[in-house]
Amino acid sequence: MRIKKIFNNNAVLVDDQGKEKIVTGAGIGFQKKVYDLIPESKIEKIFEPQTKGEYEAYKKILETIPIEHIKISERIISHAEDTINKPLNKHIYVVLTDHISFAIDRAKSGIKIRNKLLNEIKMLYKEDFEIGIWAINMIKKELNVDLPVDEAGYIAIHIHTAYSNSTLEESTDIALIIRDLVDIVQGEMNVTIEDNTLSYERLVTHLRFALQRKEDGNEYDDLDQELISIIKLKYKEAYVCALKIKNFLKQSYEIEFGETELSYIALHIQRITNKK
């Protein structure tokens, strides 16, 4: 590998048998010049941009973001991959590093941004959220910067997106939809659903998988009409609330649940109202 461009003391662009790669490592660019060979012993990470856009994104990160922020992000990514035992999309090195650096700068300036989807993220992406908690604790230890728990939620979304087949917008949309559905239940049934209760967890979990089943074409269809009729009659208010959810999803997202799925949702709603 020969150096084509030096970004900083810890990152260089190299030519590796005709392929351009970005190589990072402590001191890998220190006192080096173009065409110098790179010792393999100094290489920590190798990135191979697939497009010019990817290259420019990596280049911007390496040239503008403090090296300690880059290293913090790399530690979070390594911890995430070890925790979930899955590889993360390489683009995470750009988007998470950019996010972490901006969050640190905001915290140092005393600017706090509230994550309105925090409760839903905690419930929907539990393992990813725990990684987010680990990350903000590590940042406190290493940089003495206090990031709010809201940031653990944002980090969780980035981590989830990097190993799932969803985009950042799709991961966020699910949390947003769930929050809206919970708000409908609270408003229609005149209840307050505490986010640390089993009832909340059951409702959110069912709604999440109901949406997933609909997307996968595996919607529940295992209740006979007689049982559905009983649920409609016995738990009338809960079923009406479930219909409100159906109408909201159809109008807002063109998602339409069938009677079986609505019946299950009604049962979850009824369980919550029984605890009033």
Domain ranges of the chain: 2-49, 67-165, 169-273
Give the class (CATH, top level) of 67-165.
mainly alpha
Confidence of residue 127 (pLDDT cuts 50, 70, 90): very high
Task: List, for residues 170-206, the tens digit of each pLDDT value.
Answer: 888 888 999 999 999 999 999 988 877 777 888 888 8
**pLDDT higher than 60, residue 276:** no
Please give the average per-residue pLDDT across 37-44, as a whole number. 82
Query: Which residue in 162, 11, 24, 189 sits closest to 84, CA to CA?
Result: 162
End-to-end CA distance of the chain: 67
- The pTM assigned to this predicted structure is 0.72
CATH architecture for segment(s) 2-49? Roll (2.30)
Burial letters 5-30, b for 16+ CB under 10 A, else e? ebbbebbbbbeeeeeebbbbbeebbe
Give the class (CATH, top level) of 169-273.
mainly alpha
Residue 24's pLDDT is what? Answer: 81
Please give the average per-residue pLDDT across 22-26, as a whole number. 81
Task: List, for residues 246-270, the tens digit of each pLDDT value.
Answer: 999 999 988 999 999 999 999 999 9
Q: Do the domains 67-165 and 2-49 match in fold?
A: no
Q: Is the CB of residue 203 less than 8 Å from the CB of residue 269?
A: yes
